[in-house]
């Protein structure tokens, strides 16, 4: 899986290409599908980062061993 920044750059290129409007329908669908996969990947990475930040904030910025379980599709987001 690509890094967050790489996914985001590719997603931006897909959006730019689709916004031009001169892409054939089949290619548009392929780009849209890739874009959705990249968007989901970016969202998951952000949720994991958010969970790690919450742990650090809870521990007043001190790095302490603590189990971290990434959010799953079924688990509600922690606020």
* CB count in 10 Å sphere of residue 41: 19
* pLDDT, tens only, 22-43: 989 999 999 999 999 999 999 9
Domain that holds residue 48: 4-58
Total domains in the chain come to 1
- Assess if residue 37 is contained within a domain: yes
CATH for 19: 1.10.287
Residues above pLDDT 70, as percent of the chain: 73
Could you tell me the two tokens for 68?
């971290």
Supply the pTM of this predicted model.
Answer: 0.63
What is the rounded CA–CA span in Å between residue 23 and residue 53?
A: 40
Q: What is the mean pLDDT of the chain?
A: 81
Residue 52 inside a domain? The answer is: yes
């Amino acid at each position: 899986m690509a890094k967050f920044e790489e996914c985001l750059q590719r997603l931006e290129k897909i959006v730019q290409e689709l916004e031009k409007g001169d892409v054939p329908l089949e290619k548009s669908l392929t780009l849209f599908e890739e874009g959705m996969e990249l968007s989901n990947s970016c969202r998951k990475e952000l949720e994991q980062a958010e969970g790690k930040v919450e742990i650090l904030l809870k521990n007043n910025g001190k790095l302490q061993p603590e189990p971290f379980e990434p959010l799953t599709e079924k688990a509600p987001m922690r606020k």
